[in-house]
C-alpha cells in the first residue's frame, strides 16, 4: 500500500503508468486511488517455499509476461522491489534502453570486494579483475525488448545452475550483475534511486533519496 501510495506521488507523475503486481494473493492487493492515465494489473503467480526462490523466479515471470503482454502494452519496463517506498521524484531521467542502479553498499568499494558470484562453476561467475559496478537487484529496467533479453538470459542461467545443483550467492542479483558486465547498461542510476536509511549513513553528495527501504521484520514476512 505504501509502495503504491508513494509511487502515485513521486513516480513518473504526468505519464501513463501501468503497475503490474505479481502476487499469489490477488485479494490482498489494496485498492489505492490512482491518478488519471494510470492503472493497476494484478498477475496471479505461484508462491515458492523459500524466499530465495521467490526472488529468483521473478526473472522467469518477467520474461514470460514480457513476451505475452508487456511488449504490446508498454514502452518501458521498470522492475522494482515492493518492500520500498518512493520519497522523492523518479521521472523520465531514468529512461533508457537498458538501465541498472548502483547498490548503495558498494558504490565506494573496489571491484575485488563486490559480492559477485566467485565460483567458476556458477553461471553468474565474474572474475576478480572484471566488473564496473555492483548493481542492485531491486531496481533495473529499460525498453521491453531489452528487459526481455535480460530476464530471459538470467532465467536461462539460473536453470543451468539449478541443473548443476548450485545457487548463486545473491541469487537473481548475481545473475543481473553478470549480465551487466557483458551487456553494458546504457544508463546507470546513482544510489539516490535505491537507499536504505537504517543500514547506511547518508553521504553529503547524495542530494536526494528517491526510493528507500521500508523497515521490515524479516522473520515475520518470510515465515
- Which residue ranges are tagged as binding site? 81-83, 103, 115, 173, 196
Residue partners of 154: CB distance under 8 A and separation at least 6: 59, 172, 175, 176, 179
Cβ atoms of 102 and 190 closer than 8 Å: yes
Stretch that binds other proteins, among 43-51, 65-73, 100-108, 164-172 (CB under 8 A): 100-108
Stretch that binds other proteins, among 27-35, 81-89, 94-102, 164-172 (CB under 8 A): 94-102
Cβ atoms of 176 and 99 closer than 8 Å: no
Active site residue 173: yes
Name which position in 12, 90, 102, 209 contacts other proteins (CB under 8 A): 102
Site for other proteins in 148-177 (CB under 8 A): 149
Name which position in 184, 202, 208, 216 contacts other proteins (CB under 8 A): 184
Identify which of 209, 3, 7, 192 has the alpha carbon closest to the alpha carbon of residue 103.
192
Cβ atoms of 203 and 104 closer than 8 Å: no
DSSP 8-state assignment for residue 83: S
User: Which residue in 173, 192, 197, 220 is the catalytic one?
Assistant: 173
Q: Which is nearer to other proteins, 37 or 91 (CB)?
A: 91
Give me the residue label for grid cell 548450485: 166
Q: Which is nearer to other proteins, 10 or 107 (CB)?
A: 107
Buried b (16+ CB within 10 A) or exposed e, 189-217: bbbbbbbeeeeeeeeeeeeebbbbbeeee
Stretch that binds other proteins, among 51-59, 130-138, 159-167, 215-223 (CB under 8 A): 130-138
Neighbour count for residue 152 (Cβ, 10 Å) = 17
Q: How far is the CB of 112 from other proteins (least distance, A)?
A: 9
Stretch that binds other proteins, among 51-59, 178-186, 193-201, 210-218 (CB under 8 A): 178-186
Name which position in 183, 202, 207, 208 contacts other proteins (CB under 8 A): 183
Chain centroid, CA 162 distance in Å? 21
Cell numbers given for 37:
492515465
Q: How far is the CB of 223 from other proteins (least distance, A)?
A: 38
Residue ranges for the binding site for Mn(2+)?
A: 81, 83
The DSSP string of 38-53 is EEEEEEE----SSHHH
Site for other proteins in 50-69 (CB under 8 A): none
Cell numbers given for 97:
534502453
| Residues with active-site annotation | 173
List interacting residues with other proteins (CB under 8 A). Answer: 93, 97-98, 102, 107-108, 110-111, 129-133, 145-146, 149, 181-184, 187, 205
Amino acid at each position: 500500500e505504501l509502495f503504491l501510495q508513494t509511487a502515485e506521488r513521486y513516480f513518473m507523475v504526468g505519464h501513463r503508468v501501468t503497475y503490474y503486481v505479481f502476487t499469489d494473493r490477488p485479494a490482498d492487493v489494496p485498492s489505492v486511488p490512482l491518478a488519471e492515465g494510470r492503472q493497476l494489473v494484478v498477475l496471479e503467480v505461484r508462491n515458492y517455499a523459500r524466499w530465495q526462490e521467490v526472488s529468483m523466479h521473478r526473472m522467469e515471470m518477467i520474461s514470460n509476461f514480457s513476451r505475452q503482454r508487456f511488449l504490446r502494452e508498454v514502452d518501458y519496463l521498470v522492475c522494482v522491489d515492493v518492500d520500498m517506498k518512493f520519497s522523492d521524484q523518479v521521472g523520465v531521467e531514468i529512461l533508457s534502453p537498458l538501465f541498472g542502479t548502483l547498490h548503495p553498499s558498494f558504490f565506494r568499494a573496489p571491484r575485488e570486494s563486490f559480492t559477485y558470484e566467485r565460483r567458476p562453476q556458477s553461471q553468474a561467475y565474474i572474475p576478480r579483475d572484471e566488473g564496473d559496478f555492483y548493481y542492485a537487484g531491486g531496481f533495473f529496467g529499460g525498453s521491453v525488448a531489452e528487459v526481455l533479453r535480460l530476464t530471459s538470459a538470467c532465467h536461462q542461467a539460473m536453470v543451468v545452475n539449478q541443473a548443476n545443483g548450485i545457487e548463486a550467492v545473491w541469487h537473481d542479483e548475481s545473475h543481473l550483475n553478470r549480465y551487466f558486465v557483458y551487456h553494458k547498461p546504457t544508463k546507470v542510476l546513482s544510489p539516490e534511486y535505491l537507499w536504505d536509511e537504517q543500514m547506511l549513513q547518508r553521504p553529503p553528495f547524495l542530494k536526494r533519496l528517491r526510493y528507500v527501504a521500508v523497515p521490515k521484520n524479516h522473520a515475520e514476512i518470510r515465515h
